[in-house]
Amino acid sequence: MPSRSAPEPTERPLSQPSSQPLSVPSSVPLSVLHARVNQWYADEGRKHLPWREAGCSPWGVFLSEVMSQQTPLARVEPIWREWMARWPTPGDLAAAAPGEAVRAWGRLGYPRRALRLHEAATVMVERHDGHVPSTPEELLALPGVGAYTAAAVSCFAFGIPEVVVDTNVRRVLARTIEGKAFPNLTLNRAETRLAADSMPADLDDANTWNVAVMELGALVCVARGPRCEECPVADLCAWNLAGRPAYDGPPRRGQTWHGTDRQVRGELLHRLREAHAAVPLALLEDVADDRTQVMRCLDSLVADGLVEPLTRSRFRLPA
């Protein structure tokens, strides 16, 4: 079987063309920023998380990145451990029924990710000898994998320091470098370039920076109630030095849950997971007061491939 080890990178990918000026203000001492944030991570980061341990397989890293999208890591860890015990390789998951992936997903939310993971595992078996591919281009070709996941897996699983940009990274850079309380509502090209320009040139430092700046945003430079007194770069942070000016951009509305279609879909899937068999429609209709909403949500689950309709108005997870 051919080796699936990552190619040895000779320079940082996505480096900025020399013909364009850097987007980081010259007043920001990047070398100091890198050193302090990376050292903070060495001292304070959650290195106990299983997918951050040295022996974690690329498949384990891949699972963690998909599972942790818009989901707190405390909720991810027990499900991740269950999946790794049950399906320690892509081939193990690909051999299972798609419905088993949906069942094992539990209450992580956004259950289509479970189906995409099963589809991605199947592609890994068919095209990559049952291994997680290492390059962003190959990763992007997998079902359900976007730019963030491709960059994160390349970096954290294979040591290829692609530019990894999530909400936490964007918030840290917006505050520290741009002096803004929050980044834009959606990632844009300017923010992507800022993240690239902010990367250390050294490969090892860049790999550490990717996880360290993300962790700083998750634990200290949080969206609400940032703990600036604990921040290793508070004295460098443009937003902090400016007196933490209030956000003046478009409204940032939090997501609602109770009574939404997301809640109803979740309850429908919960009943189907618990049943371990086909469930009559009559036992699903009361998950919400509005039967029209229930049927709409059930139809959407069928359309998404998360639920399989059977004869005599029965439903089950996909076989």
Domain of 206, CATH number, reads 1.10.1670.10
- Report if residue 230 sits inside a domain: yes
- Report if residue 152 sits inside a domain: yes
**Of 107, 140, 158, which residue constitutes the final position of a domain?**
158
Both tokens assigned to 211: 């996880």
Question: Please, how many CA atoms are within 13 Å of residue 133, restricted to the half-sphere of its CB?
Answer: 22
126-148 pLDDT per residue, tens: 999 999 999 999 999 999 999 99
- Report if residue 33 sits inside a domain: no
Could you tell me if 270 and 300 lie in one domain?
yes
- Report if residue 2 sits inside a domain: no
88-116 pLDDT per residue, tens: 999 999 999 999 999 999 989 899 999 99
- Report if residue 122 sits inside a domain: yes
Known catalytic membership, residue 8: no
Q: What three-state secondary structure class fits 278?
A: coil
Give residue 310's domain range: 261-316
Average model confidence (pLDDT) for the chain? 90
Question: Please, how many CA atoms are within 13 Å of residue 312, restricted to the half-sphere of its CB?
Answer: 3
Could you tell me if 293 and 217 lie in one domain?
no
Could you tell me if 85 and 132 lie in one domain?
yes
Residue 13 has a pLDDT of 37
- Report if residue 268 sits inside a domain: yes
Task: Provide the domain count of the chain.
Answer: 3
**Of 122, 140, 158, which residue constitutes the final position of a domain?**
158
- Report if residue 253 sits inside a domain: no
- Active-site residue among 65, 119, 178, 191? 65
